[in-house]
Amino acid sequence: GDSVTQMEGPVTLSEEAFLTINCTYTATGYPSLFWYVQYPGEGLQLLLKATKADDKGSNKGFEATYRKETTSFHLEKGSVQVSDSAVYFCAPSGGSYIPTFGRGTSLIVHP
């Protein structure tokens, strides 16, 4: 079945620092790839997605590129803000169609 490996958290950064959260996956077929964000006390919501190799998903300054050759979908942001503090989940959706989530990476941004 599908599986995801995300870097362990928490990731602690100062405001305006550069962010990378690594994600690698295994999936059957040709999956779409998603990043979700969970703010405190809320459910997960879609942050960005990519549906085919070399696609770049982007939203709110975050970006991730679908790398089929390395089965990776790393999340990046050039300058984080305190409001970006949340838990981030990488999720492939492949042949099994059931959304599969990594353990999540907690991001803490200090002023």
Residue 26 dihedral angles phi and psi, to the nearest 5°:
-125, 140
74 near another protein, rule: CB under 8 A:
no
Which position among 62, 66, 88, 89 is part of the footprint of another protein (CB under 8 A)? 89
Instruction: Reduce the DSSP state of residue 71 to 3 states and report it.
Output: coil
The answer to whether 76 touches 63, Cβ cutoff 8 Å, is yes
Taking CB under 8 A as the binding criterion, the range among 59-67, 68-76, 77-85, 97-105 that sits at the site for another protein is 97-105
* CB of residue 79 to another protein, shortest distance in Å: 26
Residue 84 dihedral angles phi and psi, to the nearest 5°:
-85, -5
Which position among 20, 45, 79, 83 is part of the footprint of another protein (CB under 8 A)? 45
Q: What whole-number distance in Å separates Cα of residue 28 and Cα of residue 79?
A: 34
What is the binding site for another protein (CB under 8 A)?
31-32, 34, 36, 41-46, 49, 51, 89, 91, 93-94, 97-99, 101-104
